[in-house]
Amino acid sequence: MAQKEPAAVRGRIEIAKYPRVGLYPGSFDPVTLGHIDIVKRAIKLVDHLVIGLATGSGKSALFSLEERVAMWQHEASQLGKDRATIEVIPYAGKLQVDFAREVGAAVVIRGLRAVSDFEYEFQMAAMNQRMNPEVETVFLMADPRNQAIASRLVKEIAMLGGDVSAFTTPYVADMLAKRSKERR
């Protein structure tokens, strides 16, 4: 009788009997290099990553939900190759934990830039844990090169005619330049 090869030799799909699904939620208005860095690192931890685009409570969006979905679809198309699948799904009017349950996520991925992010994220993780103890929150520290990048600041720079190429991709920078001209 022939001996079976170890799962690792047969391929990645066979290793994981139940693929691990992660959720990376946010408003992403716009997508920055910091967001992309977190996705690149998150796909090392999960087999399938859902980028969940929230409408953002209390935030004034520069881009529509549809535009932000298109932004992420463009950017994510190259990120998951040979590592994990990535799906971009908008969600509105739902709790993050309910959306995580809907997409089958066992883990919520959150990026931290500075200590100031931690207090809010810690409270959110604690509340989510109380509402659904089956979903864990994982914090990934921002790469030091991306710690100062915030969507709010990138928008402000673009709206004032500044160069945002150091903070986002060429595709998103072009979208920002066009939107900024429309608004000025």
* Residue pLDDT, tens place only, 59-81: 678 999 999 999 999 999 888 77
Considering the domain boundaries, does residue 35 fall inside one? yes
Does 3 map to a domain?
Answer: no
Q: Which of 48, 68, 110, 151 is catalytic?
A: 151
Percentage of residues in the chain having pLDDT higher than 70? 88
Using a 10 angstrom Cβ sphere, with 0-12 exposed, 13-18 middle and 19 or more buried, the burial of residue 27 is middle
Active-site pick, 10, 12, 59, 152:
59
User: Is residue 52 situated within a structural domain?
Assistant: yes
Which residue of the set 40, 41, 113, 179 is catalytic?
113
79 located within any domain = yes
Token digits for 87? Answer: 């799906």
Told to judge if 59 belongs to the known catalytic residues of this protein, a careful annotator would answer yes
Assigned domain for 183 exists: no
- 103, 71 in Cβ contact below 8 A? no
Residue with more model confidence, 115 or 160: 160
Q: What is the CATH number of the domain that holds 70?
A: 3.40.50.620
User: Would you call 180 a catalytic residue per the annotation?
Assistant: no
In a domain, 56, yes or no: yes
Q: How far from each other are the two terminal CA atoms of the chain, in whole angstroms?
A: 74
Q: pTM (2 decimals)? A: 0.86
Number of domains in the chain: 1
Q: Which helix (H) or strand (E) holds 86?
A: strand 85-91
Write down the pLDDT at residue 56. 61
pLDDT, tens only, 104-148: 999 999 999 877 788 889 999 999 999 999 999 999 998 989 888
Query: Could you tell me if residue 4 is inside a domain?
Result: no
Catalytic-residue membership of 4: no
What are the structure tokens assigned to 61, written together?
A: 């969006």
Backbone angles phi, psi at 140, to 5 degrees: -115, 125
- At 153 the three-state DSSP class reads helix
Q: What is the pLDDT of residues 171-181, one digit of tens each?
A: 999 999 999 98
**Higher-pLDDT residue of 36, 18:** 36
- Confirm whether 151 is domain-assigned: no
Give the structural domain span for 24: 18-144
